[in-house]
Amino acid sequence: MAVATTEHERVGALDAPGAPRSDAAPSRPLLSVRGLVTRFRTERGLVTPVNDVSFDLAAGETLALVGESGSGKSVTALSLLRLIPTPPGKIESGSITLEGEDLLALDDKGIRRIRGNKIGMIFQEPMTSLNPSMTVGMQVAEPLVLHHGMSWDKAIGRAVELFKEVRIPDAERRVHDYPHQFSGGMRQRVMIAMALACGPRLIIADEPTTALDVTVQAQVLDILKELTREVQSSLILITHDLGVVARYADRVAVMYAGRIVELAPARELYARPRHPYTLGLMASVPRLDTASHERLVPIEGQPPDLANPPAGCPFAPRCRYAMPRCTTERPPLEAAAPNHLKACFADVHA
């Protein structure tokens, strides 16, 4: 694979997982993000939690955004939906194209047409995302009324069907309950039903199982993956759990300090991680196939202060592979292998 001349071309050259490599022109991605920059003005100065982020997402594909807290994953998701509070935040530059439509060029009415209709969002904590004064059935039905012009009776009927699809027992009765009458796992199933209501082309799930126990996490993620596969929706799964990534993602984008530092098919990333930060993430996670006496290896140091970022590679102060140029130059995201991009000067192998 030839190295592209610009970072945007490098990202665009990354084939969808499993796609045959040929000289034929690749199909247009469902979602294309190029050079996305989102900044916030704070008392400490200008902070850039999303800094020149570019990636493509194919129809039906699951892309995982992975990284520590504060790496820019959630702000990236909010930027895609243009939910950045302005002020203090602002999308400074870049493009977000969904099925050929530039979302950053839309007015307020235009982006409201997209939210909940073409793009569904599942937030971290459903108790704060659901309206406590409305029944869950009405909340699932509302986007169908607003976007598809359904009557409330038909929309509630569709909500019952969606509740059955996400495996909420006694759906006909439970659509009339309120959020506080549901457990955390059931509330998250309500959020999935709401996100799927209008048959969106893209679903963004931001840490959808953070507050749930392990058994319920697996149930919720299995339902989400199964239903998105059935309707051929694409999925952006934001998580810090590498076990979740291994099981559910087709491709992985590893984020650090607001940038994507590695982007590859999930299997390739796990077999041959090529960025020191990715190696560190994997070394800090317990594994069942290693001896019980082996200690986990933490990533030393702290993420950089985004109000005062380092001049070169943001991971350099924590990196055992760092060389002098890493403190003054920012490595571009470029091809390390076919279908595998990394932003690192070092030749790193697991």
Distance (Å, whole) CA 51 – CA 18: 29
Q: Which pLDDT score is estimated for 75?
A: 94
Question: Does 272 fall in a domain?
Answer: yes
- Asked, for residue 302, whether it belongs to a domain, the answer is yes
Which pLDDT belongs to residue 80? 95
Name the nearest CA neighbour of 205 among 186, 220, 184, 183.
220
| DSSP-based three-state secondary structure for 210 | coil
Lowest mean pLDDT among 20-34, 120-134, 225-239, 300-314: 20-34
Instruction: Report the pLDDT value the prediction gives residue 306, as an integer from 0 to 100.
Output: 87
Q: How confident is the model at residue 212 (pLDDT cuts 50, 70, 90)?
A: confident
Report in angstroms the alpha-carbon separations of 72 from 204, 212, 306.
14, 23, 10
Whether residue 296 is contained in a domain is answered as: yes
The pLDDT value given to residue 143: 92
Residue-wise pLDDT tens digits, 11-57 = 554 444 333 333 334 578 899 999 999 999 988 889 999 999 999 99
Instruction: Give me the residue label for tokens 């929706």.
Output: 233
Pairwise CA distance, residues 214 & 254, whole Å: 23
* Mean pLDDT for the stretch of residues 262-268: 93
Kindly report, residue by residue over 74-125, the tens digit of the pLDDT.
999 999 999 998 889 999 999 999 999 999 999 999 999 999 899 999 887 7
Q: Cα separation of 76 and 128, whole Å?
A: 20
Whether the per-residue pLDDT at 218 is higher than 70: the answer is yes
Which residues make Cβ contacts (< 8 Å) with residue 232, sequence separation at least 6?
A: 59, 60
Task: Measure the CA–CA gap between 66 and 47, rounded to whole angstroms.
Answer: 20
Edge-to-edge order in the sheet of strand 45-57 = 45-57, 31-42, 89-98, 101-102
**Cα-Cα-Cα-Cα dihedral of 307, 319, 345, 342, to 10°?**
-80
> Torsions phi, psi of 268, nearest 5?
-65, -40
8 has pLDDT over 60: no
CA–CA gap between residue 129 and residue 124 (Å, rounded): 8
Q: Is residue 269 part of a domain?
A: yes
Domain assignment present for residue 326? The answer is yes
Mean pLDDT of 318-340: 90
Q: Taking the CA of residue 56 as centre, how many other CA atoms within 13 Å lie in the half-sphere pointing to its CB?
A: 23
pLDDT of residue 227: 82
In this structure, what DSSP letter does residue 115 have?
Answer: B
Q: Tally the C-alpha atoms within 13 A of residue 327's C-alpha that lie toward its C-beta.
A: 6
Give percent of the chain above pLDDT 90. 53
Residue 225 has pLDDT above 50, yes or no: yes
Lowest mean pLDDT among 7-11, 200-204, 335-339: 7-11
Boundaries of domain holding 78: 1-15+29-118+249-350
Is it the case that residue 296 has pLDDT exceeding 60? yes
CA-angle at 294, arms to 291 and 299, nearest 5°: 135
Average pLDDT taken over every residue of the chain: 85
Q: How far apart are CA 231 and CA 10, in angstroms?
A: 30
DSSP 285: S
Alpha-carbon distance of 149 to 165, in angstroms, equals: 22
Question: What number is the average pLDDT over the span 314-338?
Answer: 91
- Domain tally, the chain: 1
Share of the chain above pLDDT 70, in %: 88
Of 63, 64, 33, 69, whose CA–CA distance to 51 is shortest?
33
The reply to whether 161 falls in a domain is no
pLDDT at residue 25 in the model = 42
Quote the CA–CA distance of 121 and 115 in Å, as a whole number.
8
Residue 72 lies in a domain: yes
Asked if the structure places residue 223 within a domain, the reply is no
- Residue bearing tokens 């699951």: 62
Lowest mean pLDDT among 120-129, 283-292, 308-317, 341-350: 283-292
Instruction: Provide the 3-class DSSP secondary structure of residue 24.
Output: coil
Q: What is the residue whose two structure tokens read 């990394």?
A: 342
**SS3 for 57?**
strand
CATH number of the domain enclosing 254:
3.40.50.300
Count other C-beta atoms under 10 Å from residue 120's C-beta.
26
The CA distance from 296 to 79, in Å, is 34
